Amino acid sequence: MVDSIQFTQSLLKWFHIHGRDLPWRQSHDPYEIWISEIMLQQTQVPRVEKIFYPQFLEKFPTIQSLASASWEDVYPVWKGLGYYSRGKNMLRTAQIIVQEFKGEFPNNADILATLPGIGQYTAHAILGFAFDQKVPAIDTNIQKIISILWPKSNIEERAKELISYSNSGRDWNGAMMDLASALRAGEAIPGQLGEYFQKNVQQKFAPIRKKVVITEKRKWHIEVGIACIHRDGKYLIQTRPEGKSFVGSWEFPGGKRETGEDLRACVKREIQEELGIEISVRPHFYEEMCQFNRVNLKLRFHRCQIQKGEPSPLEGQKLMWVSPKEFDNIQFLETNARALEKLKEMKV
């Protein structure tokens, strides 16, 4: 079995020579580290490093500047990263930290993990890189390294043991991440560390690529909750936000259901994120299945009313209140057509 102390010593020796020079590694500011971690969740390092990270910090250099912004301010800087819920969660978290923690990031993993968009991994990454705590930020790649070198170990316990032999939680986490990156790229690891990763072990780390004969394209199943918000005989509609298909067409607001989420709860969440209001959501009055090339789309339309707030276009979309008599004069998405007919028959 690989000796944990020797491995950690050789890992850190290698890292101090071959570690990546990334801009967020030059900072111990938890705000800047948090920004990088959220961006890196779904985006390749070079794009974050060269484009999105510097432009975001130029626009929002402090957590106070981000907290005082609206999604309409953040969207142009986030545009291109996709996964807009990440950006919206960042905005909400910044506001919570400024309002409830006086602008200071908590240095406690349990508290950090309760903030929007911050799970255990991101909480540990912030503690390790910003506060230099000996807390392992365990992602799938680090799990793989440990499972290869210590096949029968508890991964979390082994990681805690390994990081305990380092003088710096910051260095250990960075070293493990860079080692994973090098192994994924098939790089030769020099020195004593390389002895743990001979060719056969490195092949285990690399993803297995099998030749697959595709007989049928995979279908993606997506459920969308749609809010038909009514007030004073009219319904609230919006244009499609930039970055989405059919820009310029009108639709009812709403969005995709997240895994395990109730569809009515989904509608409430999406409207809060898109328009900044709280609504009541009735059971759906109409459901439609739409089939596209590789997507099965289930749409559920719900009549809703505003409970708190006034709608504000947080994603740069236009808003308009229209009566059912005006529906025929508006360019709606085709997927809304049958629901519109149903609404015409209802009392507002």
Q: Are 286 and 301 in contact (CB under 8 A)?
A: yes
Residue 100 among the catalytic residues: no
Strand locations in the chain, DSSP E? 220-231, 234-239, 250-251, 254-256, 278-281, 286-291, 295-308, 319-322
Could you report the per-residue pLDDT of 185-194, keeping only the tens digit for each?
888 888 889 8
Q: Does domain 4-205 have CATH number 1.10.340.30?
A: yes
Contact 302, 267 (CB under 8 A): yes
pLDDT, one tens digit per residue, over 41-97 is 878 898 899 999 999 999 999 999 999 999 889 988 887 776 677 888 899 999 999
Q: How far apart are CA 77 and CA 51, in angstroms?
A: 10
- Rounded CA gap, 302 and 315, in Å? 21
Share of the chain above pLDDT 90, in %: 56
Residue tagged active-site, from 32, 37, 274, 315: 37
* Residue range(s) in the chain whose domain bears CATH number 3.90.79.10: 220-345
Length of the chain as a residue count? 348
Instruction: Determine the average pLDDT of the residues in 21-44.
Output: 92
Instruction: Count how many Cα atoms sit within 13 Å of the Cα of residue 230 in the half-sphere of its side chain.
Output: 18
> CATH number of the domain at 220-345, please?
3.90.79.10
Is-above-0.85 flag for pTM? Answer: no
- Which residues of the chain are in CATH 1.10.340.30 domains? 4-205
- Parallel, antiparallel or unpaired: strands 319-322 and 254-256: unpaired
